[in-house]
């Protein structure tokens, strides 16, 4: 059983909340009840408000982590809308008693550090998702005017300190490209303001093993076999083609709207909801230069989607901008969960074609890695003609326009990993030689260079000895000196 499933099952044992499905005409699609069958108003309201603020999958994930904490609040008889001063001790008690974490005061004196132990049933990454869910819960309800205090998951003191530090920065108004700002805007943005912090947070890094040439080749073999399979439906084929050609996240493709696809009539492009855009279609994906991808999408829209349209519409112009592009066979909006069902159905028989297991999200990293390889070739990296300035400018444009990253530094993580990929490639080659008992000889050119260098050193040593012999200063008396000179003359004769 996957680790994520085990963690979800553990969380399920920590709450006693059930849900009641609302009717289509009800303002609430789901109503949450506690163990006494009383309506949990804050959770029900948050669930309703969160519907239009991002992917449905994020709301479902956050819900899993919110229910155990709200159950714990009820047990401690602490209102959900209490002041931060009252909520924070309960937060610490929840992490310590229910999740087996150690609690340490933060170095700044305004936060706490959550450190998992061997008794903690959740991974560190899961604890960070829990923190994000709690922060989101109070942020959404505060924005709706339902929570009267500052967000208990944020430190007002650290926020004020961050604001003052930003004002005191030298050349704070200068862009990062100018090189005169005391720190980059990304560094300023990342100054911690959270009440709960995880000391070992080091940011995401790509898996170097997945960047090796043999792994990338294996991933392409799996994807090509999937796309050529008679078992793949036009819908999954269109999604896979877009994933492979755009580098977009899975939810950005699956949750695309008809208005986003139409994109005001611009062919070969679509607008999708970017991560952190709060439901707004602000990111552009490009696929017009691959006729196969465009044909797969057109085939689905023209031939398959009308079969499942809940209103029986056959023309693209009849469908509203906010309606989903991809539909299930029942006519409901397609979801990430539905795609994963078909992914594993197609992927499992092909696992042996690639040396490591990979997921749809890894297709995004494959896209970025191979784009950077092509980009370096285009600018002749590794040669005397390498145009470094042009390479860096194009790389930054790729991160901003194609990937939709807010930080221009994100691409550095991938680019730096290319050096690691080379190191691992050489290590793999060396280990293969050792397995065959082939040991590394000196390259002929290097051996000749070393022999030449040794000859030069010997010549220099002989020259020094000769000069030293010519420059001897005799310290003997005059009679001895005359005798030595006489012996030297006789030897020459």
Nearest to 7 by CA among 172, 126, 153: 126
Residue 487 Cα to chain centre, angstroms: 85
209-424 CATH fold: hpI Integrase; Chain A (1.10.443)
**In this structure, are residues 92 and 112 in contact, taking their beta carbons and an 8 Å threshold?**
yes
What stretches of 194-333 adopt beta strand conformation (E)? Answer: 196-197, 269-273, 281-286
Compute the Cα dihedral for 275, 281, 286, 288 and give only its sign. positive
Determine how many CB atoms are found less than 10 A away from the CB of residue 129.
17
**In this structure, are residues 303 and 77 in contact, taking their beta carbons and an 8 Å threshold?**
no
Distance CA 420, CA 424 (A): 6
Distance CA 98, CA 427 (A): 44
Q: b/e string for 217-252 if b means 16 or more Cβ within 10 A?
A: ebbbebbeebbeeeebebbbbbbbbbbbbbbbbbbb
Q: What is the pLDDT of residue 383?
A: 80
Is beta strand 30-33 parallel, antiparallel or unpaired with respect to 281-286? unpaired
Distance CA 241, CA 234 (A): 10
Contacts of 303 (CB under 8 A, 6+ apart): 234
Residues in the chain: 493
In order, the DSSP letters of 64-87 are HHHHHHHHHHHHTT--TTS-HHHH
Consecutive 10-residue runs of the chain (493 residues): their mean pLDDT? 47 67 81 85 91 82 90 90 94 91 84 86 87 93 92 85 76 64 66 78 60 87 94 95 92 91 84 74 85 92 93 87 92 91 93 91 89 86 83 86 77 62 56 64 57 60 51 51 67 63
Q: What is the pLDDT of residue 422?
A: 53
Is beta strand 196-197 parallel, antiparallel or unpaired with respect to 269-273? unpaired
Q: What is the DSSP letter of 33?
A: E
Q: What is the pLDDT of residue 473?
A: 45
Is beta strand 18-21 parallel, antiparallel or unpaired with respect to 112-115? unpaired
Contacts of 336 (CB under 8 A, 6+ apart): 55, 57, 250, 251, 254, 255
In order, the DSSP letters of 333-345 are BP-HHHHHHHHHH
Is beta strand 112-115 parallel, antiparallel or unpaired with respect to 196-197? parallel
**pTM score, two decimals?**
0.55
Q: What is the pLDDT of residue 475?
A: 46
Q: What is the pLDDT of residue 24?
A: 76
Distance CA 319, CA 187 (A): 44
Show the 3-state SS of 106-138. CCCCCCEEEECCCCCCCCHHHHHHHHHHHHHHH
In the Cβ-directed half-sphere of 301, how many Cα atoms lie within 13 Å?
A: 19
Tokens, residue 102: 């150690």
For helices 388-397 and 410-435, give the axis angle rounded to 10 degrees: 110
Compute the Cα dihedral for 125, 126, 127, 133 and give only its sign. positive
């Amino acid at each position: 059983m996957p680790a994520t499933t085990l963690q979800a099952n553990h969380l399920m044992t920590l709450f006693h909340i059930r849900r009641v499905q609302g009717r289509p005409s009800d303002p609430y699609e789901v109503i949450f009840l506690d163990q006494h069958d009383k309506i949990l108003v804050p959770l029900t309201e948050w669930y309703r408000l969160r519907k239009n603020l991002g992917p449905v999958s994020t709301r479902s994930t956050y819900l899993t982590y919110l229910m155990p904490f709200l159950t714990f609040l009820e047990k401690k008889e602490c209102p959900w809308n209490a002041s931060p001063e009252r909520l924070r001790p309960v937060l610490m008690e929840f992490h310590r008693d229910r999740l087996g974490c150690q609690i340490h005061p933060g170095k700044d004196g305004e936060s706490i550090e959550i450190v998992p132990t061997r008794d903690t049933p959740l991974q560190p990454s899961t604890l960070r998702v829990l923190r994000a869910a709690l922060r989101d819960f109070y942020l959404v309800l505060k924005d709706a005017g339902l929570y009267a205090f500052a967000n208990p998951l944020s430190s007002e003191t650290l926020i004020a300190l961050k604001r003052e530090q930003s004002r005191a920065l030298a050349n704070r108004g200068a862009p990062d490209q100018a090189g005169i700002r005391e720190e980059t805007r990304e560094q300023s943005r990342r100054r911690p303001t959270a009440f709960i912090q995880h000391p070992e947070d080091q940011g995401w890094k790509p898996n170097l093993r997945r960047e090796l040439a043999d792994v990338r080749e294996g991933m392409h073999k799996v994807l090509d076999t999937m796309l050529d399979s008679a078992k793949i439906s036009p819908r999954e084929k269109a999604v896979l083609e877009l994933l492979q050609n755009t580098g977009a996240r899975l939810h950005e493709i699956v949750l695309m709207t008809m208005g986003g696809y139409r994109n005001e009539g611009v062919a070969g492009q679509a607008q999708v909801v970017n991560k952190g855009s709060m439901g707004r279609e602000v990111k552009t994906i490009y696929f017009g230069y691959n006729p196969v991808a465009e044909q797969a999408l057109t085939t689905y829209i023209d031939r398959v989607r009308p079969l499942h349209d809940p209103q029986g519409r056959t023309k693209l112009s009849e469908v509203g901008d906010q309606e989903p592009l991809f539909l299930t066979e029942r006519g409901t909006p397609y979801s990430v969960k539905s795609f994963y069902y078909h992914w594993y159905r197609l992927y499992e028989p092909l696992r042996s074609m690639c040396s490591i297991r990979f997921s749809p999200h890894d297709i995004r990293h494959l896209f970025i890695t191979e784009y950077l390889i092509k980009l370096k070739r285009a600018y002749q990296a590794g040669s005397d003609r390498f145009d470094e300035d042009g390479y860096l400018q194009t790389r930054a444009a790729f991160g901003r326009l194609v990937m939709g990253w807010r930080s221009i530094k994100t691409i550095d993580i991938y680019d730096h990993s290319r050096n690691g990929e080379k190191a691992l490639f050489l290590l793999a080659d060396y280990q293969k030689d050792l397995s065959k008992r082939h040991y590394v000889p000196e390259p002929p050119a290097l051996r000749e260079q070393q022999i030449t260098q040794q000859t030069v050193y010997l010549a220099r040593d002989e020259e020094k000895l000769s000069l030293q012999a010519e420059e001897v200063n005799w310290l003997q008396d005059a009679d001895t000196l005359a005798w030595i000179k006489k012996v030297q003359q006789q030897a020459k004769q």
